[in-house]
Structure 1
């Protein structure tokens, strides 16, 4: 798949990139590709589908990440998800958590590339949108120079439309999920080599990328860059990507407009039976580096969690921030 322009994506993150987080991120960037949390195929088949798959139309472009290792169940999950109009379906071959391993999917699938290929083939037979893979460079004692090309070869033969590569190994035993995001050394060069080997295939990179300058460096070698914790913990970084990577007119972020949109969204969520905290918890890191950010975080972390808290808490939090500083400093931090 030849990509005509780069893709900048916010990584799927369990317990973080839920629908409220994605709506918030979309208010900051119109162009970023957003991903759901990983949703297990069994949960979609047997669980509350609207809660698991529902989203606001504003979230697009939006990809659904699935977890599973049973081709038939994954295909059924893809068919069930079709009326929700996702723009991409992604198979998780990279999560190293014990919970994921116990279900025989995630990073442990790197050990069985033929199974991954069967899953992709089954998903492709029923999908009406691109089907992609997100993987590691290897797991445990695997040699990445052998394991990664073998996986890529098999999934491309099965019809995969794109490959996202987290440029670290995953250690299935001995490291926690958090340690697996930090301890195994990054190897960006192997991802670059995969792109050289498959020049006509979309290959994106993920892992340890903290700034837009770093993202730009990677885009000289691959087709897409995916940020995880850096985008979540300092969401203001998203404010510059439309202009920097997609040619949008340069403009200062309109934080008051963002406040008003999020207040309206929170009001709708509360009216439907939700709590302000469901929305506010994703906004805590927005103003990292600006005067007043500490007070902003305190308000969202404490007042938003109180019983009966309403959108006025968001207004109070924004009022604590001094925007007379240079927003670009926060954006590039």
Structure 2
């Protein structure tokens, strides 16, 4: 074996990415009714999903189990070699087993088939060979076969493991959507670190309340409203009457008013405010509020409780709280 430091590394990378991209694209042609069967088996499962696989397939299987577990499908990984030496006791008849093997003939995996059949445990296989022992034994087979590995020797699992990874993600996301899994559900599966803080934080935790909410009446002039906007420092004010939220006035409304040539000393909020405006509810996750603001290209959001403004949230508040 000789090393060439002048080798065209970028060309090799482009070839690998192209081959794997093509392999993933071909997965669409292999989707069939068995994918639906696999999803229904998991949704009807009374136990847990047990994922198994050897070597590189095992690494992909471990990731799949983690993805399922974090998106509403209780799952864990069992090494097939360890299963033959005691860990088989971790698998119950009410479980569903997902077995990964590109060849479908991996000895450590196929040796488990008689035991699984004896228990009556449902089996989903993910292989590159629909005619293999593992595929034929499964209640549902997911075809992740590839025409060529990205490895120039066509030996090292590359394109095949990428396809298995993508198929696993497709399975997890389909189940997530079928279960109606929400951002809040996801947050409870990820309580630690910055991701947990970002997902578990609610608008109530960071919004401005009480005297911190800018308020003017509909009869206030534009010049009076600007004084309130400046004093509160949120770049906006709510427009309220008798405690009820009528609308909001933001820097965007100010620009539109100036473009229309209105007199800031005579124009009232009723003339220039945005009636209603975008709002969210108390108890909403801060991440959901961020999406509303991003989708509507706004920098402030009213937290509305019935007809009243319970609070105000700005993009700066989200940035300071680490949600952005």
Same fold (TM > 0.5)? no
In which range does the TM-score fall when normalised by the shorter chain? 0.3 to 0.5
The answer to which structure, 1 or 2, has the higher relative contact order (CA under 8 A, 6+ apart) is 1
Larger radius of gyration: 2
Question: TM-score, normalising length from structure 1?
Answer: 0.33
* TM-score for the superposition, normalised by structure 2: 0.34
